[in-house]
Amino acid sequence: MYTIQFTTFPISSMGKPLRYQNDAGAAIESDFPVVWPVIFSTWRDFGNIGSARIFPIEVNAIEIVHGALTRHIDVKAIGDATKSVINNRDFLSTLQHYDSTNAKVVLAVRKSPTPRPRVAARERFERIHLAVEDHQQLKLVLAGWKKNLQVDERSRYVQRVKITGRMRVESEDPVLALRARIFQEQDDSDEDSDGDEDTFSRPRSLSALFGSDPVRTHETKATINQLWQPLAQFLSAFPALKHFVWASTEQVPRCVLDILHNQLPNSRLHVHTFSLRSLYQRRDQLHDVDVDEYALATSPCLSSICAVSTHYDSEGLMDYNEEAVLQMVVESAPNLQSVYMWYQQAGNSIGLQDAIRSPRPPWRGFFRGGEDEPQELHGHLMKLALRGESSTFLQRLQCWSRHTEFSRLYTLDLSNGVELNALQALMDMADDGVFKCLRTLSLFVFDTEEIQGPMEIMANKFLSALRPLQGLNVRGWANRSIIPLILEHHGASLNRLHLSIRLSDNDIEDLRKACPNLQDVRLSVKRRQGDEQEVSQYKLLGFISRLQRLTLLLDCEDADIWEAYNEEGDKELQAQRMRSALINSAIDAHLAQSIFLVILAANRAIRPGIAPSFRHLKVRCCCGERGDYFEQLQKWVGRSWVCEREHADAHSDATIVEETGVHRRLLVMEGLKDVVEEDFEWCDDGELYKPAWEAVWPETKGMANWMEEWHSFPLYLGS
């Protein structure tokens, strides 16, 4: 039995090494830097947060000591300790109730009965993720990494570095600090990746990114650049660096750009928070782009950007970032291959109303005295995503087609919605053979009654006109006619298929037969309180012989009861619906793991003599969009989980189970506090909420913390 004991550090002391005791009682100091607030729960997390795998050690018990108070946490509610590990973010949410400068945390852990070999150093140190808070913390963390990487020349293995967080300075605007914190918290999400990009490098939602923040004067910019110098020096030690990912809310500092250009010219720069702050301008103060931002926009290392754009921001500033990105695509950024545009809609304000009264002046280029953009040139993007809070309309689509050759696109993402005339243009392009290189498509079709029919007809024609795709993500379709169309035209080539509609058993069987290369699937499954029919669908999915990754959207509503209640208004029907919804929505680690193991067993059975291909499951609860407080109760118990195989052999069922979307769940609890204290008195049918809960979990009756005491219900696995 190992006991690891450490004291949580205040923010100013981040990056200190942890100390633990071995079996003989000897004190050992970890040589791995651990950055607060990421707290490890297993050696898998402890080595290199998020990537390195050293020893599989599992949490057995947790004790939090705070002054004279001691709190024990029972990890059985999270999963069988022989197969699962406690989720570090769930642990972190518990810690938030304690003083971070004094709380002492004790973790009792035990060795896995089947330890796996030490992972090669090449894999352990292939990537580094630095979550930056301030200059002092950055120096401490970098010092720890330097010490560790000096051993056996490990720096030669580093190929990817990612930066998140921000560089805090004294006298910081609290509004800017709050905006940055909200944006960083968005990273705790369970959104689907694009399949070909892992969580280390994929772009995130940019809905909370303020493109004009932070505004730096010439003096403060020089100071900030100096604070980032240790990072620039750190990067210079990695001769094999291939990818540098910038996801900080700060602008990419000039010192980092200079290192990339001068010492690492073959590395690729990926900016997930791309915004040229100097291109947010007032009508009466138009000016040239900042010279350091121009260096970023024209960087020969720049490979991909995730950029925000809005013609006017909430303060009435004119934003010329879209025009700048279009010019970068055409000629300014010579090696730019991927653009992810997030279109924002400004919040209303007096400044915005004043700004839009007059026409918006056209953009005159990066430098106002320069030449106009050459219209005869075209960019050669391989990936283009047009997403955000506004749909893709015809003029926007035509604008992008004038600036980059759609015939060169490998990936096109229009999952924010496409208007009918734009969809017509896409179909015409497909008929003309424009999309000859396209391999992956994401498309959202509006399901409003007025245009649903024409939209689906046009979308079906568009999909039929395309060459066979390898990846397809379609959302918004209500008509099941899309399924045979996909299978007929794209089934043989598909390795990734994401659908928003629910499939029948026959649909899944057709999918299995028509898509022999399918590896990554996302679809909706109807929860039926874990009955035999529900389990049958999980088994059918496991029979997809090459399946590796599966995302299940668990539909937890009983539509028949809900429809009957709407017609009759019978309170007993409403109570019945609530009980059913709670049972279906209650998804804990035990249930997530059970679903995973059912699918794994089926996949193992379809592949006799060889290891199962299935290795990754993501489950998410879908509770409808009624907007009432009972829906919030469902979301509280309807948790999202990721399950992964611990070992890649033919027989092991060892599973790692981790919750995702924890921050969103904690926000749900914040929103419920007041109504819970008032026993849902002011909620529609509020008198039924707690009785429904107690009918499902009778042991909670009379308990003060009744919302914490719940569990899922087991799947039917036969007699």
Residues 6+ apart with CB under 8 A from 408: 380, 381, 382, 437
Give the CA distances from residue 3 to residues 25, 68, 77, 306, in Å, rounded to whole numbers and listed in that order: 9, 21, 21, 43
pLDDT at 353: 80
Domain 122-185+196-518: CATH class, spelled out: alpha beta
Residue boundaries of the structural domains of the chain: 2-119, 122-185+196-518, 527-719
State how beta strands 57-66 and 520-526 pair: unpaired
DSSP string, 44-94: HHHHSTTT-----EEEEEEEEEETTEEEEE-GGGT--TTT----HHHHHHH
pLDDT at 566: 58
Q: Please, where are the H alpha helices in 651-688?
A: 662-677
Can you tell me the distance from the alpha carbon of 474 to that of 127, in angstroms, rounded to the nearest whole number? 32
Token pair of 166 as six digits: 């921000």
pLDDT less than 70: residues of the chain: 1-120, 171-204, 214, 370-376, 447-452, 478-479, 559-569, 625-627, 719
Q: Is 598 exposed, middle or buried (0-12, 13-18, 19+ CB in 10 A)?
A: buried
The kind and range of the H/E element at 599 are helix 589-606
Q: Are 312 and 319 in contact (CB under 8 A)?
A: yes
pLDDT tens digits, 567-608: 566 788 888 889 999 999 999 999 999 999 999 999 999 999
pLDDT at 9: 30
pLDDT at 175: 65
Q: Are 653 and 693 in contact (CB under 8 A)?
A: no
pLDDT at 370: 62
Can you tell me the distance from the alpha carbon of 710 to that of 417, in angstroms, rounded to the nearest whole number? 38
Predicted TM-score (pTM) above 0.85: no
pLDDT tens digits, 186-216: 654 444 444 445 556 666 677 777 777 767 7
pLDDT at 8: 31
Helix axes 571-585, 559-568, angle to 10 degrees: 160
